[in-house]
Amino acid sequence: MTLIDDAKQLAQGVLQAGMAKVVALAPDSWVPGGTPDPLIRHQHGHIGKPLSRIDGPVKVSGSAPFAAEFPIETMVYAALAYSTIAKGRIVEIDTRAAEAAPGVVAVMTHRNAPRLKPPPVFLSASKAAGGDNLPVMQDDRIRWNGEPIAVVLAETQEQADHAKSLIRATYEAEEALTGFAQAKTRGTRQGLFMGEPLHNEVGDAEEALVAAPVKVDATYRTPRHNHNAIELHAVTVAWQGDTLRIHDASQLVSHTAWSIAQMFGIDEEQVVITSPFVGGGFGGKCLWQHQVLASAAAKMAGRPVRLVLSREGVYRIVGGRAPTEQRVALGAGRDGKLKALIHEGTTPKTSANVLPEPFILPTRSAYAAEAVKLDVQTVELDMLSNTFMRAPGESVGTFALESALDELAHALGLDPVELRLRNEPEKDPTSGLPFSSRHIVEAWRAGAERFCWNRRNPAPGATREGEWLVGMGCATATYPYYRMPGGAARITLTREGHATIDIAAHEMGMGTATAHTQVAAERLGLPLEAVAFNYGDSTLPGVVLAGGSQQTASIGASVIAAHRALVKELLKLAGNDSPLAGLDPHEVGSRDGGLCKLDESERHEEYASILGRARRDTITVEAAPPPPLETLHWSMHSHGAMFCEVRVNAITGEARVSRFLGSFDCGRILNPKTASSQFRGGIIMGLGLALMEETQFDERSGRIMNPSLAEYHVPVHMDVPDIDVMWTDIPDPHTPMGARGIGEIGITGTGAAVANAIFNATGRRIRDLPITLDKLL
Ligand code: MOS
């Protein structure tokens, strides 16, 4: 971003901050969530059931169509060639051999690609989906090492891959800035997140630190990480007349349709994106160059195109997590109460993206400290734009913060659980807002008991079984409740008592379709079999991002709004002959296939009866929820207490996690079965973050050196113990359904819980992730 873009973002931030003050002071009843959702109390038995995935059978039978599995007549296969320099220009690109290779249909480069506008970068507009705002194959410029320079289309994938290998480019390289340390010597800039500075100050924390009787002050480093969803990024695209149909693997279909329409200069309605199944998103399945290149090449060649990125391709063109250097300094009294809390540091981004890794986010609401200083500085490198990745901010921020808490507990000679309980805040320590619901103390107590935390020997390196040093560690997990604007849902109800919910939401494997079939059935008072939940299609209502652990809140609020609209319409149709006659829509809810008075449920009429009397076969309503002002009125977060037992081999330095427990406080749990998988999946990612994940980035050339799962290690079954999860299940009175997000919290706190267990096992404090065995020898 340029300085002008920064200034615009900042101005927007100031506006938001002004509105935030007004909303903070408003009475509860003016704010969405001010009146608790009646479904927190009225239960028909669907919510909270451990229902198995409704999409399970099609997935295990292999009949669920993923983006690269839609067959289209006359379709061709694409392969990409990537630049091998970080900055400069293409002098010559020789495509003759590729064009002459067997099966090749066309080769697209900047010389013949259709003219396109740059992608709208995420957050620059309400439906912007781009990971950056760089032109896509429009000129001879090279902006990062790995940028696509050519698309080959051929009759088979093998022919495309072969022909791509025949492309020869010569470059005029310019000096690129690819070293983090080198960039820092040129100065840093204030990091911004959603238009607001990543900076908070309460009192004078540096002064309070100097004066504190007990202190720790250390620097923690986390490496680059890359997205590695099981399903590779893929699209199958076809131009049908002026309409562009894209089968994508997406966590934001409506945003992507709008953004691609902007790039091609066509109407939003001319781009139709479907994404019924996604093999993992994690922040990476947004708009990158592959969807655009496939669409442009399909247009150029007049043939439908399938483009599946190779695993290397995902590393070359899909942004990941940037590295961080974080200082955490804690000053405490001898009682462990924090007097100073400092969390600051630096992370690189590019000039074309909007997301510095916001590692101070978890610290904003974590602990009561008398003085606080939080700050993120950025530098800009010539690299692939980094992006949202698995709890951006919280996953690496909690590693630093929660490691430092453990160091402080050790310095104080205090139990690390007790240290956290002693610093539990009454209200949000930086915003001053009341918490919507915070039962982290219960989560800590219940978790400590279940994990048998009292068996931990506080002396580091003191527990040995043969060659294995055994230790236990803990850490706080936290992730915000978000609900982004743009939700909307349509409900169609038939006289036979069948309901269809339409919303442009996403199922990326987390159980959305299952949980929201339950939610909709519960709200409508229908059996599960009578509800169909349609999603993953940009022509459906709503602009819903499956990210920020907020999709469930967004869908839930939208279904509530549509249900309220349905009640209103049905009451009109019911008329004066109904037992419901004269009731205000607010007094009416659903049960047993019909409407009833909420506090007098025997005043009831079935949908079939209402629609029959009105001579209607179906009724359709669509509605949008109010804007998400609740997040400006309360401090809203999911919480967790993470417990880890680790065994470190005294001879080889190998670390093995032997037990793990996540004890969560995330509001009402809608489906314990799918929720458990969400928690466990996050924790497994956290184990990878702690022990193995690291992108090897050659700081001389800006090239990623380990773009494969052979060289970029993620946990496999042998690395993962039986992970235990539990939760408070205390509904948050201020969220739809009483639920808060559960998608990302599992990866937060986990890195520190492992590092702290390793310290307890060995006496070695490792502040640089990943904790590989060389660091323990
Ligand atoms: Mo998540 S990183 O917001 O998809």
What DSSP string runs through 504-548? ----SSSSHHHHHHHHHHHHHT--GGGEEEE-SBTTSS----S-T
Confidence grade of residue 1 (pLDDT, cut at 50, 70, 90)? very low
Q: Once rounded to an integer, what is the mean pLDDT over residues 582-602?
A: 94
Confidence grade of residue 735 (pLDDT, cut at 50, 70, 90)? very high
- Residue 285 CA: which ligand 1 atom is closest? 4
- Residue 550 CA: which ligand 1 atom is closest? 3
pLDDT above 70: residue 236 = yes
Segments of 583-706 assigned E as strands = 588-591, 594-597, 600-606, 618-623, 637-649, 655-665, 697-698, 703-704
Residue appearing with tokens 């609740």:
630
On whether the CB atoms of residues 266 and 242 are closer than 8 A, the answer is yes
On whether the CB atoms of residues 358 and 336 are closer than 8 A, the answer is no
Residue 706: exposure state from Cβ atoms within 10 A (0-12, 13-18, ≥19): middle
> What is the structure's pLDDT at 530?
98
Beta bridge partners of 620: 492
- Ligand 1 contacts CB of residue 358 (under 6 A): no
Confidence grade of residue 35 (pLDDT, cut at 50, 70, 90)? confident
- Ligand 1 contacts CB of residue 480 (under 6 A): no
On whether the CB atoms of residues 592 and 607 are closer than 8 A, the answer is no
How far does residue 282's CA lie from ligand 1's centre (Å)? 5
> Tokens representing 248?
């994508």
> What is the structure's pLDDT at 12?
62
> What is the structure's pLDDT at 10?
56
- Ligand 1 contacts CB of residue 390 (under 6 A): yes
Beta bridge partners of 196: 193
* Residue whose CA lies nearest to ligand 1 atom number 4: 283
> Tokens representing 155?
């009759």
Q: What is the pLDDT of residues 57-83, one digit of tens each?
A: 999 999 999 999 998 999 999 999 999
Q: Once rounded to an integer, what is the mean pLDDT over residues 444-471?
A: 98
The pLDDT mean for the chain works out to: 96
Q: How far apart are CA 692 and CA 427, in angstroms?
A: 37
DSSP state, residue 765: -
pLDDT above 60: residue 267 = yes
* CB atoms inside a 10 Å sphere around CB 709: 12
Q: Once rounded to an integer, what is the mean pLDDT over residues 383-396?
A: 97
- Ligand 1 contacts CB of residue 281 (under 6 A): yes
Helix axes 672-691, 750-762, angle to 10 degrees: 50
- Relative to beta strand 637-649, strand 468-480 is antiparallel
- Ligand 1 contacts CB of residue 180 (under 6 A): no
Helices (H), ranges, 74-133: 96-100
How far does residue 285's CA lie from ligand 1's centre (Å)? 9
> What is the structure's pLDDT at 15?
60
Residue appearing with tokens 């915000």:
480
Helices H, strands E: what count in the chain? 19, 32
How far does residue 671's CA lie from ligand 1's centre (Å)? 21
- Ligand 1 contacts CB of residue 319 (under 6 A): no
Confidence grade of residue 713 (pLDDT, cut at 50, 70, 90)? very high
- Ligand 1 contacts CB of residue 122 (under 6 A): no
Q: Which of 281, 292, 295, 166 is nearest to 228 (CA)?
A: 281
Q: What is the pLDDT of residues 117-137, one digit of tens each?
A: 999 999 899 999 999 999 999
Is there a catalytic annotation at residue 622? no
> Tokens representing 313?
């391709």
On whether the CB atoms of residues 755 and 738 are closer than 8 A, the answer is no
Least confident of 20-24, 541-545, 619-623, 742-746: 20-24
Out of 744, 745, 747, 748, mutate this one to test ligand 1's pocket (max ligand atoms within 8 Å of CB): namely 744
> What is the structure's pLDDT at 41?
67
How far does residue 455's CA lie from ligand 1's centre (Å)? 36
Confidence grade of residue 195 (pLDDT, cut at 50, 70, 90)? confident
> What is the structure's pLDDT at 13?
62
> What is the structure's pLDDT at 7?
55
How far does residue 284's CA lie from ligand 1's centre (Å)? 7
> What is the structure's pLDDT at 332?
98
Q: What is the pLDDT of residues 151-183, one digit of tens each?
A: 999 999 999 999 999 999 999 999 999 999 999
> What is the structure's pLDDT at 18?
75
On whether the CB atoms of residues 474 and 417 are closer than 8 A, the answer is yes
| More confident site: 11 or 148 | 148
pLDDT above 70: residue 43 = no
Q: How far apart are CA 443 and CA 456, in angstroms?
A: 18
- Ligand 1 contacts CB of residue 225 (under 6 A): no
Confidence grade of residue 715 (pLDDT, cut at 50, 70, 90)? very high
Q: Once rounded to an integer, what is the mean pLDDT over residues 505-513?
A: 96
- Residue 251 CA: which ligand 1 atom is closest? 4
Q: Once rounded to an integer, what is the mean pLDDT over residues 602-621?
A: 97
- Residue 546 CA: which ligand 1 atom is closest? 4
